[in-house]
Amino acid sequence: DADVTQTPRNRITKTGKRIMLECSQTKGHDRMYWYRQDPGLGLRLIYYSFDVKDINKGEISDGYSVSRQAQAKFSLSLESAIPNQTALYFCATSPGHNYGYTFGSGTRLTVV
Amino acid sequence: GESVGLHLPTLSVQEGDNSIINCAYSNSASDYFIWYKQESGKGPQFIIDIRSNMDKRQGQRVTVLLNKTVKHLSLQIAATQPGDSAVYFCAENLGGGADGLTFGKGTHLIIQP
């Protein structure tokens, strides 16, 4: 099994719909992250969490929300999806500050 | 705002040659840097990291150099192989307890046979 598992792998949804992307990890790490990847823009941080009770906004949090249900689970929600949220979304974990991240395989989201 | 950037969007090298991918960063408060490799359809994969108290770090076939004076980071790949074809990202982490890597836009490394 992968260290970081993201579901679904691909999703097409309609404008205005609510959608949740899920992430689970088996690394036992406290820190989890959600990134968005767009062509030509690299990866940009949406939200990050240091533990279940600690959620922090990243560079582009508007239009997104997150939930840290357990140490191993961190989900990303789009309350009302819009077409410019079409992107590749990655979840990642790390054991602490200034350690490398382990990324999931990504969720390709298309909003039509 | 300050950001991490890359000099070249595409780099083409002959198989067996050495590759050098460059990255400029502008935030002098950054204290940790990482290189990631991303193959098509996959998530970024950790290659090598370096902390700001170091100038050079070597791994298997890869070397990262950090020049804090000119805020420059480079990744050297020795004896490039076809499997090295990918997009390479540099990323930085700010010091002072802030978290969340800031990524550059990526360089696409193409290996010519």
Closest residue to B34, CB basis, from A33, A35, A100: A100
Mean pLDDT computed over every residue of chain B: 88
Contact across the interface for B93 and A45, Cβ inside 8 Å: no
pLDDT at A1: 64
Q: Which residues of A touch B92 (CB under 8 A)?
A: none
Q: Which residues of B touch A48 (CB under 8 A)?
A: 99-100
Q: B107-112 and B56-58 as β-strands: parallel, antiparallel, unpaired?
A: unpaired
Cα B41 to Cα A90, B37, B94, distances in angstroms = 12, 12, 29
Chain B residue with CA closest to A50: the answer is: B99
pLDDT at A97: 81
Q: Please, is B56 exposed, middle or buried when counting C-beta atoms within 10 Å of its C-beta (0-12, 13-18, 19+)?
A: exposed
Give yes or no for residue B15 having a pLDDT over 60. Answer: yes
Q: Is B32 on the interface with A (CB under 8 A)?
A: yes
Predicted confidence (pLDDT) per residue in A29-58, tens digit: 999 999 999 877 789 999 999 999 999 999
pLDDT at B7: 46
Give yes or no for residue B3 having a pLDDT over 60. Answer: no
Q: Is A96 on the interface with B (CB under 8 A)?
A: no
Q: Which residues of A touch B49 (CB under 8 A)?
A: 99-100
